[in-house]
């Protein structure tokens, strides 16, 4: 009997940060215990693996978990293949990507526990040694807040920080700085789903506010980024991106995003175009080839190897967002990172707008060596991940 042999897989419904039900999995091995829960998106990509109701995911996930009893939790590929076989579809629509990702991540956690190593070491090995740059959203709207900006996320990345810890505290200071700038302008704001301020202002003013907050509050070089989440702005009938009263056709959208990047010296722009438009993605990427801007695909790639390969072949984007629940397994997330990296694309590990206190993506980011992690700035379900990377960083320094 090995210490990592799986004895039992149990699932339950728990709350996520929006107050919705999500799935938590426990995996018990001969000598280990692991737990993980599934996040949930609001601006989900059309080609993501499918989330089903938490109640059904618990039932079907537990049935699938029975097939894992007796297998080796340290053999992540075999575990994830069994989950795929038990599901029997190509998008996890039977057992649910929510059940699959919770079981897959809890299995990795249980193996690490049984082996007596930290999760990032179990996944990344002895040479996993770098921590990511945190991309934190400080203003947001779109699908994450009503009556706020059209662009979904205004992010900051402390590119001049020497440590992850310094970067995280810089992002938090800028988040507080945004509130000060809004107060000075007499603008009130609540918070959106991910803890970013959600003022009722337009996108150009939001960029101005964030730039002013960076000037005031950041002690190290801090650059601005955006998640346009453009599929949510696209209107099929209009054949254009709709921003309130303004519409932009695809060429105008490429011009607009290019101007935002150049005027704001942006370090990052995610989903600047809709999820099917690889060609326009490639045009924008080419137009920005003289900058250091990361053009990132989220809904475009959905953490899917075939879609990443298709994008790489066309020169669409130069970085890939990695959301484990978009693909449903730890192995799938790893393969997406590997495919991106082999093509010279940067990788960004990411939370979802609906989250729990689960911090697994912190360990996946360090273990897989993603250059960035996008997981918010404040709020317990966001700081759970940030604080875990701080702990990992401090352990590495010992």
Ligand X SMILES: C=C(OP(=O)(O)O)C(=O)O
Q: Count CB-CB contacts under 10 A for residue 184.
A: 11
Cβ neighbours of residue 55 closer than 8 Å, sequence gap 6 or more: 13, 21
Does 227 interact with Mg ion (rule: CB under 5 A)? Answer: yes
Residues touching Mg ion, count (CB under 5 A): 2
Q: How far is the CB of 148 from Mg ion (least distance, A)?
A: 16
x/- site string to Mg ion, residues 114 to 143, per CB under 5 A? ------------------------------
Q: Is 120 one of the annotated binding-site residues?
A: no
Q: Is 191 one of the annotated binding-site residues?
A: no
Q: Which of 323, 335, 355, 381 is catalytic?
A: 323
Residue 381: active-site member = no
- Binding at 42: pick from ligand X, Mg ion, none (beta carbon under 5-8 Å per type): ligand X
Q: Is 374 one of the annotated binding-site residues?
A: yes
Beta carbon nearer to Mg ion, 203 or 298 = 298
User: From residue 135, how far is each of 75, 177, 314, 321, 373 by CA, in Å?
Assistant: 32, 16, 26, 12, 6
Cβ neighbours of residue 34 closer than 8 Å, sequence gap 6 or more: 26, 27, 73, 105, 106, 107, 108, 109, 110, 111, 112, 113
Give dist(CA 202, CA 64) in Å, integer. Answer: 47
Q: How far is the CB of 65 from ligand X (least distance, A)?
A: 25
- Binding at 182: pick from ligand X, Mg ion, none (beta carbon under 5-8 Å per type): none
Buried b (16+ CB within 10 A) or exposed e, 287-321: bbeeeebbbbbbbbbbbbeebbeebbeeebbbbbb
- Binding at 165: pick from ligand X, Mg ion, none (beta carbon under 5-8 Å per type): none
Binding site for ligand X (CB under 6 A): 41-44, 143, 227, 229, 298, 350, 352-353
Q: Count CB-CB contacts under 10 A for residue 163.
A: 14
- Using Cβ positions, the residue closest to ligand X within the complex turns out to be 41
Beta carbon nearer to ligand X, 143 or 180 = 143
Does 355 interact with Mg ion (rule: CB under 5 A)? Answer: no
- Segment near Mg ion (CB under 5 A), from 209-217, 220-228, 257-265, 277-285? 220-228
- Binding at 352: pick from ligand X, Mg ion, none (beta carbon under 5-8 Å per type): ligand X
Question: In terms of Cα–Cα distance, which of 178, 187, 233, 247 is closest to 208?
Answer: 178
Tokens of 380: 């317990």
Place of tokens 């921590």: 131
Residue 263: active-site member = no
- Segment near Mg ion (CB under 5 A), from 44-52, 70-78, 121-129, 295-303? 295-303
Residue numbering of the annotated binding site for Mg(2+):
227, 270, 298
Which residues are identified as catalytic? 194, 323
């Amino acid at each position: 009997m090995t210490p990592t042999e799986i004895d039992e897989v149990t699932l339950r419904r728990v709350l996520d940060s929006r107050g919705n039900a999500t799935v938590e999995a426990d995996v018990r091995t001969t000598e280990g215990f692991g737990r993980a829960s599934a996040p949930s998106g609001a601006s989900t990509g059309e080609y993501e693996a499918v989330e089903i109701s938490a109640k059904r995911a618990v039932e079907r996930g537990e049935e699938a978990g029975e097939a894992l009893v007796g297998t080796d939790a340290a053999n992540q590929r075999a575990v994830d293949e069994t989950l795929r076989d038990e599901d029997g579809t190509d998008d996890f629509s039977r057992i649910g990507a929510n059940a699959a990702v919770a079981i897959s991540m809890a299995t990795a956690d249980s193996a690490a526990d049984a082996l007596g190593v930290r999760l990032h070491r179990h996944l990344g090995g002895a040479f996993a040694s770098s921590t990511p740059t945190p991309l934190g959203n400080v203003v947001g709207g779109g699908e994450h807040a009503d009556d706020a900006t059209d662009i979904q996320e205004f992010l900051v990345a402390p590119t001049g920080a020497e440590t992850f810890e310094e970067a995280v505290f810089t992002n938090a200071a800028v988040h507080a700085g945004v509130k000060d700038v809004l107060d000075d302008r007499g603008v009130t704001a609540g918070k959106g789903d991910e803890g970013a301020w959600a003022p009722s202002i337009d996108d150009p003013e939001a960029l101005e506010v964030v730039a002013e907050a960076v000037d005031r509050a950041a002690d190290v070089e801090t650059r601005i980024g955006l998640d346009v989440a453009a599929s949510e702005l696209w209107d099929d009938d209009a054949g254009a991106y709709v921003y309130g009263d303004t519409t932009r056709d695809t060429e105008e959208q490429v011009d607009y995003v290019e101007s935002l990047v150049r005027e704001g010296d942006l370090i990052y722009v995610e989903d600047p175009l809709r999820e099917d438009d690889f060609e326009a993605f490639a045009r924008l990427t080419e137009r920005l080839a003289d900058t250091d801007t990361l053009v990132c695909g989220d809904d475009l790639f959905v953490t899917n190897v075939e879609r990443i390969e298709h994008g790489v072949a066309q020169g669409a984007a130069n970085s890939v967002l990695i959301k484990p629940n978009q693909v449903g397994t730890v192995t799938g997330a790893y393969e997406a990172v590997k495919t991106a990296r082999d093509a010279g694309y940067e990788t960004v590990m990411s939370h979802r707008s609906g989250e729990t206190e689960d911090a697994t993506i912190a360990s996946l980011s360090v273990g897989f060596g993603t250059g960035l992690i996008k997981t918010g700035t404040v709020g317990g379900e966001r700081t759970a991940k940030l604080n875990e990377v701080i702990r990992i960083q401090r352990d590495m320094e010992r």
